[in-house]
Amino acid sequence: MWTYNDKPVNGHEDLLPGCTDFVYMITYEDGRKYIGKKAVRAMRKYPPLKGKKRARRKLKDLPFMNYIGSCEEAKDLVISSKEILYQCGARKAATYLEMALLVYHDAIFSDEYLNENISGTFYRNSLDGLLEYPNGT
């Protein structure tokens, strides 16, 4: 069951009308967490109406209620909560917020989080070349 601001989300009707993507946090029974983003609506192209030339575009709802995240390591873990943190009207906003949360929580370096990379660019070993931390440790 998804929640947003401590209220249950049972479908698209419980999301904001302009929401196309959201940023979420899944918490597992062992206390570990996963932060990600999910597309819930997308523009789809349809053939033009009879006698018209321009293709039609409509916003289509995408399934998300049974979504359990994209983390392979978490496939066998039991989910204790699925929380929507932010609802976004653009994929770029969701991508930015997901990345900001991952950096803020040091998610790829912390054992508390299952995230292994940020945007497919930064991985757990990204700081292997760091020779010294600023505080001397």
The pTM of the full predicted model, rounded to 2 decimals, is 0.84
Separation in Å, CA 121 to CA 43, 53, 108, 115, 126: 27, 42, 11, 13, 9
Query: How does residue 120 score in pLDDT terms, banded at 50, 70 and 90?
Result: confident
CB neighbour class for 69 (10 Å; exposed up to 12, middle 13-18, buried from 19): buried
pLDDT at 133 over 60: yes
Say what percent of the chain tops pLDDT 70. 93
Query: How does residue 75 score in pLDDT terms, banded at 50, 70 and 90?
Result: confident
